[in-house]
Structure 1
Amino acid sequence: MSKRTLEGKTMFISGASRGIGLAIALRAARDGANIALIAKTAEPHPKLEGTIHTAAAAIEEAGGQALPIVGDIRDEGSVQSAVDQAVERFGGIDVCVNNASAINLAGNLDLEPKRFDLMLDINCRGAFVVTRACLPHLLESDNPHVLTLSPPIDLRPEWLAPHTGYTIAKYGMTLVGLGVAQEFKEQGVASNTLWPRTLVATAAVQNLLGGDAAMAKARKPEVYSDAAYAVITRDSRECTGNSFLCEDVLLEEGVEDLSVYNCAGADADLAVDLFVDHV
């Protein structure tokens, strides 16, 4: 298990006003990390919990320093401004987490081009723009990490037929992460992707994948945040270019009972996430 911590380190994370992104930020905050978060939700949403300001308050309550920045990762100027603010406030960036993502599971005839464009802009292009803006500062860190929340690439037709647009957008994020790993390996910048083996209890699962029934088959967001923490505290020169699954990371870290993450208890009937074969 890693002996490193994130105390005094600075994380730049996209879309962390709720859910998995916020869980990752809170785990880092418990070490005393600095968290710069860029998200669009400045005012309460009628269907979604939390805003960037409530997230910042939770981060500081957990022991971290928070810099909430209202911005849109589709706009490279907005991203660059956010990165500049983070560096001015905290002196650098050690970890970049590409969490922001859009999901639309419609098939080709039902997916409007503007919805396709939205997923590409937020998921694939957003990961590229955020990572690119952070890289000059990551190169100055003593243990720099990029972590992109996207799946391993599997080109079997079963992952293409139902939702080609979403698959392209998520696989695009993975290609960004793996490309950065290869390009900056010699400079010591780690870049990995991370994805859950099972559903994780988020607003997307609640609203799009089956409501309360799906949530009962899911694991808590902490399965993602604990795995993310394990990856980004590893030696950046020894851990790069991987497409990890959360549960595999946790088992490597010595977690013996993954059922502690089940929303519905140890005997829950878990459902596999997209792009994954089995629990």
Structure 2
Amino acid sequence: MNRRTAVIHQELLCTARERLPQLLLAVFVGMIAASAFIGSSARASVTGVYREVLSQGLTTAPNPFDAFSPLYYARNSVIYIVLIGALLAIVIGVRSTLRDRQARTLDLILSRDVSPSSYLGAKLTGLVLFVLLLLAAAAVINIGCISAVAGHVLSLSEGARIAGLYALAWLFMLPFVALGMLAGLYSSTTTSALLIPIVLWSVMIFILPLLGTAAHPVSLLNPVASPPAAQTGFFAFTSSVVDPLAVGEQFKHVSSLILSDPQATGSMTGGILTLTAFAVAACVAVALTRRTRMRSELHD
């Protein structure tokens, strides 16, 4: 086993043993599993009201849910990825680099013929593989739950779309893993290491979309991206500036297109390029961390 493989293997083991990531992981997988049944309950409630109205002769319109595909039940998973998945990515990134600084293992590792970029790159690779395995398991669970709710096995195209959603989720979570690693490397205390990336996450997910669209805050918890701002006035200017930085809205927009949401319009290209640019920039920032910064002491 070479050095890089050993670091990746160690990172996978240590991340799997951490208590806080385990808790967030359980919550994330649990909500993904429940998302299809939550959507089914909503559909059953609306269908019950529709049948009551239909029996009273107050409408002749068809049930609005009859035309919905089983992919409708995957929509709730989008918001769980934005909220719980991103926080999980931040936590495992923070714990990865804090673990080394607290144990002072970097002093020993960097005394050998090991470059900071190769070591941090291997650690990041281990975390990326951890997230990939997690999302692969979540995709299988989601497909199984949706099949159970729909009463039939999903078609190949429907399964491929859900797999595409989780592939996009991997790309979305990757920069948050790197952001967590950077916070663990540059923060002087464990508290600030966790707090700073969570504040940045909240700005990107909630504050920037509000600055760009003036959407109602509650609408940001929907799995569908907020509507575009008016083409004139203050928000026309701010939306052009902040929209590319609102990665949560970019993710939700592309996810809606992948899941064939009738409300979604536009192209996936811009959103995918934005998420890719954030991921690349964050990974490069981790790789450029200097040796002196890696060996800096924590003050708590």
- TM-score normalised by length of structure 2: 0.32
Query: Which structure has the larger Rg?
Result: 2
| Structure (1/2) with the larger strand percentage | 1
| Structure (1/2) with the larger helix percentage | 2
Q: Which has the higher contact order (CA 8 A, sep 6+)?
A: 2
- TM-score normalised by length of structure 1: 0.34
